[in-house]
């Protein structure tokens, strides 16, 4: 009789942990923007929160195994600021050239 192959247990690496949480009036919009940033950088994430009840908390959750990478991506985006986000978005659009900075 063959011995069954044990199933690998990923442990708690796949547990979803919150990386963002907010009850602000713009929490859903901020959660969706963060979700897009993480997904664009290859980090799985999930937005948790009902869009029909704006007074309830929204969260963005990532697998525990990707938490450090998600925190790094968020810090880089925060440090780069909105100008970098505008330039990155412009590069993905047809014609893909970043807008010139003001005063150039």
pLDDT at 33 over 80: yes
16-80 folds as Alpha-Beta Plaits (3.30.70)
5-26 residue pLDDT tens? 666 666 777 789 999 999 988 8
Q: Is residue 40 within 8 Å of residue 77, measured between CB atoms?
A: no
44-93 residue pLDDT tens? 999 998 867 666 789 999 999 999 999 999 999 999 888 877 777 777 77
* Closest listed residue to residue 45, CA positions, set 84, 19, 26: 19
């Amino acid at each position: 009789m063959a011995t069954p192959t044990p199933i690998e247990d990923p442990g708690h690496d796949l547990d979803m942990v919150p990386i963002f949480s907010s009850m602000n009036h713009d929490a859903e919009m901020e959660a969706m923007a963060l979700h897009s940033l993480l997904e664009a950088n290859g980090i799985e994430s999930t937005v948790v929160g009902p869009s029909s009840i704006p007074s309830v908390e929204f969260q963005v959750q990532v697998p525990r195994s990707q938490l450090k990478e998600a925190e790094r991506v968020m810090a880089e985006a925060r440090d780069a600021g909105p100008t970098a986000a505008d330039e990155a978005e412009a590069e993905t659009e047809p014609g893909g050239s970043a807008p010139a900075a003001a005063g150039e």
